[in-house]
Amino acid sequence: MALVTGGYGHLGTAISEGLAEAGAKVYVLGRSKEKFTEAFQNQADEAIQFQECDIADTQSIKNAFAAVEQKEGKLDVLVNNAFYSKGQNPEALTDEEWAFGIDGNLNSVYRCIREAVPYFKSSGGSIINVSSMYGMVSPDFSIYDESPAFLNPPHYGAAKAGVLQLTKYFACYLGKNNIRVNAVTPGPFPSQTVQQNEVFIEQLKRKNPLGRIGKPEDLKGAFVYLASDASAFMTGQNMVIDGGWTAW
């Protein structure tokens, strides 16, 4: 039984579907039942269900975890995929934009881990945090010369780097409870909206050793592996699914 925050988004939908295809009961945690229904309108069974949750609000997280545990009896897997942010100009982020981005990409992950631990302590479990290639390397700013609107902001990368450290910290802290904590780091997986900018997409393709952008389904295997007993002796690690982007 797996919980996926933001499990109806661009990458979240594929993550949720991959886990369900592997036999998991999946609860998608999010704020919008409408977006969930739209994302999974072709879902024929009840393997993927919706649970209202706002990762910005501790009480909402508590309520969501308690509701799922009451239905299923336990929690086995938590995927921290959801995020929120605002502000983009590296030279002009306000203090409020900076704090909001850090909260939405890092603090929210901590809140979810903290609230999940009591449920996992009795029988173990797997926590999978979603980072980013920009939590590992700086953007190649030349790629954005012709598409400045897509420039990745500094608070996003700083927070995603923090997610990797948080992963290591809790892997060591929770190992005694048989709770594994790992991260998945996606590379260039632009949304459908961004993909409409052909010039920018060609820049991404040229930068990447595999010569293409990521497709959401490219992520399925990593999450299934980390959620399952196939990775039973793996914790504190970061699986980088980026087509070779960070290998340069």
DSSP state of 214: P
The answer to whether 180 and 127 have CB atoms below 8 angstroms apart is yes
Q: What is the largest CA-CA distance in the chain?
A: 53
Count CA within 13 A, CB hemisphere, residue 201: 14
- Give dist(CA 111, CA 84) in Å, integer: 14
Comparing CA positions, the residue from 240, 229, 136 lying closest to residue 178 is: 229
Comparing CA positions, the residue from 54, 41, 47, 40 lying closest to residue 6 is: 54
Catalytic residues: 156
